[in-house]
Structure 1
Amino acid sequence: MAGATTPHTRLQSIDALRGLAMVLMLLDHLRETWLVLVPMPDPVDPRTVLPAMAVARFVASFCAPVFVALTGVAACLFGVGHTPRETASFLVRRGLLLMAIDLLYLSPLYWGVAPQPTFWLQVIWCLGLCMILLAGAIRLPRGARIALGLVLVCGHNLLDPIRLQPGDALFPAWALLHQRDVIALPFGFVAKTTYPILPWMGVMLLGHAIGPWFGRDVDPVVRRRRLVGLGVGMIAAFLVLRAFNLYGDAPWSVVDGSALRTVIGFVSMTKYPPSLLFLLPTLGGGALLLALFERRGQSRAIRALAVFGGAPMFFYLLHLTVLRLLYHGALAWWGPTHGTVFMVGDYGWVLAWYGALILPLYLPTAWFSRLKQRRRDIAWLRFF
């Protein structure tokens, strides 16, 4: 068939998009590391934010939606060669592992920086919990999964007015589901629900629902046409809803005297939890990139990105560990620069570190990615 691609090429395009999300995520985490006291409200304030930081924040906004959606796609592809029971078992085991990593490894990396020991229930926790819930949903008919995903993604903003307070009976559950908040725990610990799961569960369900598009029997031309149509449709829906402030996020407005800051305000949407208007352009852009990456699958850039995406959990743990070591090394060497923390004074340093770290992080990730491909007999490598 003309233009046909092998399953390897198709998976490479998925790995490349996942790898791009990893590479962009590094920039945002560098900002958190070196500009720890510079506030980044959600959504960003277009009147006060440094434009370079706003651009970097917008670019990094693609990371979580793309990664969660591709997790759903990957779960569907895993299920092709396994029974529903085997697939559900894998999702539950992987989900529990991810949640444990977030609680027992990633959160302690930030202790000593946060004012009190905090369990940051971030994207890895969210992924793990959503995978466990997906394990219970994979037996639903595909139409039911699509309908449930659309309800969660498109309708969850109707729940925004519901705000519970600490002490309310359902506050912890609601903070985990939809309300970004802080839950008090015993012994002085707290848990911060950075990624409430309702909309993210919808994203994973929809990613799982389009998994059949990547089947061996699907013409790649048809698949790319579907991805382009999906991406263009989502971005068009965003432009209409956002332009007229119809639904899906806090309204935007013109910033007097600055076209740039007006544009920043237009594309600054709520991420915690992700509004409908946050998800439309990020997922739509991800669909367009996936079509592009599949078409350009043999280019050097795509192959390099696929290395990062071929071992995403390894890269995630590696880069956060390296950033914490660099931060505490700088704090020990130069001492605190602002109160009790170390912080650089210029965003240019963040960009400099970004350029300096790409290759050192690429090399061990490439090694681990090759190890995964070479040692398929080692079951636990699949989890990373």
Structure 2
Amino acid sequence: MASSISIPVESVGNAGTYKAHAKVAARLVCIDALRGFVMVLMLLDHLRETWFVNYMVTDPIDATTILPAIGFARFAVSFCAPIFVALTGIGVYLYSINHTVEETTSYLLKRGFLLIAIELLFLSPLYWGIVPQPTFWLQVIWCIGLCMIALAVLMRLPRPALIALGLVLVCFHNLLDPVRLTPDDALFPLWAILHQRDVIALPFGFVAKTTYPILPWLGVISLGFGIGNWFRPEIAPETRQRWLLMLGFGMIAAFIVLRLLNVYGDKPWVMVEGSPLRTVISFISMTKYPPSLLFLLPTLGGGALLLVLFERIQTSRLTDALAVFGGAPFFFYLLHLSVLRILYHSALAIWGPNDGQAYMFDNYNWVLVWFIAMIVPLYLPTAWYSRLKRRRRDIKWLKYF
């Protein structure tokens, strides 16, 4: 689903002594822990996508027919992409503190184009052979890559202007929903990339699916960059946490009010007669592709609250374990998707499609079993790579993964 920029400790703050570096590292544990928490959620989601595609989840889901467990699971994993993109913006700001504008621009451009290339040339082919035709899936890695390239220009704006732009894109992009172009329109490919989730026909029978139109995500990364100065070394933890709590609770309150009004920000929710549980599922089922305003408010608000939580418990074993995943997020992302696809292709080759329906193997109740079986084997190489990045800072290309 997602990747985020890792923040080299030596790139953050003005620390010149070991004590100052330790302070910087402690301050960033909450970011790595939150990123790691999202990676764990993402693994659960990708397990479902890989092994249990017979349990399709629409966007937004139909609360009258969906299994309640899947409905709530879908809401839980909805936090992944918004938090990752916002943390990418924060990470870029922190990287820029001890780097010139030119150095930060160069890093963003290199990282952005690398992410796009990996999405097209590595991640998309992982799906070939289990889809009807070769498809370039323009998903979250592609989206973050384009957003980083755009941020290389936008970060030159004054901070208030960048935050204002981010707010406009996040809050008002749903006004563009009625604008629908067809493949016959000259601007269709561009509009499909910016806002309209669709399929673009390519030569030689290939197609591209714009799963993550970038316009609202560009707003999210801009807002992340805009609040990045909250994590500067001179900002007291108490002050930062107070700001994050106000932001988080404010966004969640705004979501509840707008969702109750049922007039803007997403498709209307419905009362499911005789089922309060399904009514709740309808209330929390929002559009992700592209993410609606009401999709982003609770997920980003929840992310702000989790940052406070992880900063307050940053010495716990749980936080330390999550920070390992968060310290090498892109490595973990590529690793777990590769392992899942290799296992799936192997099972498909050995046993064939299950029950006459292509690409499905087993019961949804086994998702947690698969998760427990995979989390430790995936943790070990991720921990190794995370330590390698910290130990071998002389190997420059490591910071891009």
Q: TM tier, shorter chain?
A: over 0.9
**In structure 2, distance between residues paired with 1:313 and 1:71:** 12
Counterpart of 2:84 in structure 1 is 67
Counterpart residue number, 1:100:
117
Report SS of the residue matched to 2:208: strand
What runs of 5+ residues in structure 1 fail to find an aligned partner?
A: none
In the other structure, the counterpart of 2:237 is 220
1:201: which partner in 2? Answer: 218
Cα deviations across residues 149-190 of structure 1 (Å, max 9, x unaligned)?
A: 000000100000000111111100000000000000000000
Alpha-carbon distance between aligned partners in 1 of 2:68 and 2:338, rounded to the nearest angstrom? 28
Residue 336 in structure 1 maps to residue 353 in structure 2: yes
Q: String of CA shifts for 1:297-330, please: whole Å, max 9, x gaps.
A: 1000001000000000000000000000111121
The one of 367, 376, 379 aligned to 2:393: 376
| Residue pair 2:389, 2:398 contacting (<8 A) in 1 also | yes
User: Is the counterpart of residue 356 in structure 1 residue 373 in structure 2?
Assistant: yes
Q: Which runs of 4+ in 1 moved over 4 A?
A: none
Letter in 2 for 1:356: A
Q: Please name the residue that 1:7 is paired with.
A: 24
Map of 2:170 onto structure 1: 153
Aligned counterpart, 1:326: 343
Give 1:23's aligned amino acid.
V
- Deviations 1:245-291 (Å, cap 9, x if unpaired)? 13100110111111111100000000000000000000000000001
Specify the SS of the correspondent of 1:6.
helix
Note if 1:278 corresponds to 2:295.
yes
Q: Which amino acid aligns with 1:123?
A: V
Mapped pair 1:234 → 2:248: no
Residue of structure 2 aligned with 1:248, choices 258, 265, 270: 265
Selected match of 1:44 from 40, 61, 65: 61
Cα distance between partner residues in 2 of 1:169 and 1:129: 21
SS of residue paired to 1:324:
helix
Q: Which range moved further: 129-138 or 240-249?
A: 240-249
Q: TM-score, normalised by structure 2?
A: 0.93
Matched with 1:88 is 105
- What CA distance in whole angstroms lies between the structure 1 residues aligned with 2:368 and 2:261? 35
Query: 2:390 is paired with a residue of what secondary structure?
Result: helix
2:183–2:200 Cα contact (<8 Å) kept? yes
Contact 1:330 1:342 in 2 (8 A): no
State the match for 1:163 in structure 2. 180
CA contact (8 A) 1:73 1:211 kept: yes
How far apart are the structure 2 equivalents of 1:197 and 1:86? 24
Secondary structure in 1 matching 2:229:
helix
Tell me the distance in 2 between the aligned counterparts of 1:377 and 1:269. 44
Deviation at 1:339, TM superposition (A): 4.4
For residue 345 of structure 1, report the CA deviation from its aligned partner.
Answer: 4.2
Q: How many angstroms does 1:6 deviate by?
A: 1.6
Structure 1 distance, partners of 2:128, 2:359, is 14
| CA distance in 1 between partners of 2:301 and 2:266 (Å) | 17
Q: CA deviation at 1:340?
A: 6.4
Paired-residue identity, %: 69
The answer (yes or no) to whether the contact 2:130–2:359 under 8 Å persists in 1 is no
Structure 1 residue 338, shift from structure 2 partner: 4.8
Cα deviation, residue 332, structure 1: 1.9
2:13 maps to what in 1?
none
Instruction: Measure the CA separation in 2 of the matches of 1:337 and 1:56.
Output: 24
Question: Which residue of structure 1 aligns with residue 310 of structure 2?
Answer: 293
Output the amino acid matched with 1:279.
Answer: L
Conserved 8 A contact 2:255-2:294:
yes
Offset from partner CA, 1:341-366 (integer Å, 9 cap, x none):
23134211222111211111111100
Q: Is the 8 A contact 1:15 1:306 kept in 2?
A: yes
Give, in whole Å, the separation in 2 of the partners of 1:247 and 1:340: 39
DSSP-derived class of the 1:45 partner: coil
* Residue correspondence of structure 1 range 127-138 to structure 2 within 5 A: 127-138=144-155
Aligned residue in 1 for 2:96: 79
For 1:246 and 1:355, locate their aligned partners in 2 and report how far apart those are by CA, in whole Å.
Answer: 42
Q: TM-score, normalising length from structure 1? A: 0.97
Q: Classify the secondary structure of the residue corresponding to 1:183.
A: strand
Which residue type is aligned with residue 179 of structure 2?
I
* Cα displacement (A) at 1:38: 2.9
Is the contact between residue 181 and residue 193 of structure 1 (CA under 8 Å) also seen in structure 2?
Answer: yes
- Across the aligned residues of Structure 1 and Structure 2, the Cα RMSD in angstroms comes to 1.0
* Residues 79, 87 of structure 1: 8 Å contact kept: yes
Q: 1:190 aligns with which of 207, 229, 235?
A: 207
| Cα pair 2:353 2:361 within 8 Å, conserved | no
* Alpha-carbon separation, structure 1, partners of 2:263 and 2:250: 17
Q: Give the whole-Å Cα distance in 1 for the aligned partners of 2:277 and 2:342.
A: 36
Alpha-carbon contact 1:145-1:205 (below 8 Å) kept: yes
Residue deviations 1:215-266, cap 9 Å, x none? 0110110000000100000000000000111310011011111111110000
Offset at 1:333? 2.1
1:119 paired with 2:139, answer: no
Distance 1:338 1:143 in 2: 57
Q: Distance in 1 between matches of 2:120 and 2:321?
A: 31
Gaps of 5+ in 2: 1-21
Contact 1:166 1:183 in 2 (8 A): yes
Residues matched between the structures, number: 380
Determine if contact 2:133/2:206 at 8 Å carries over to the other structure: yes
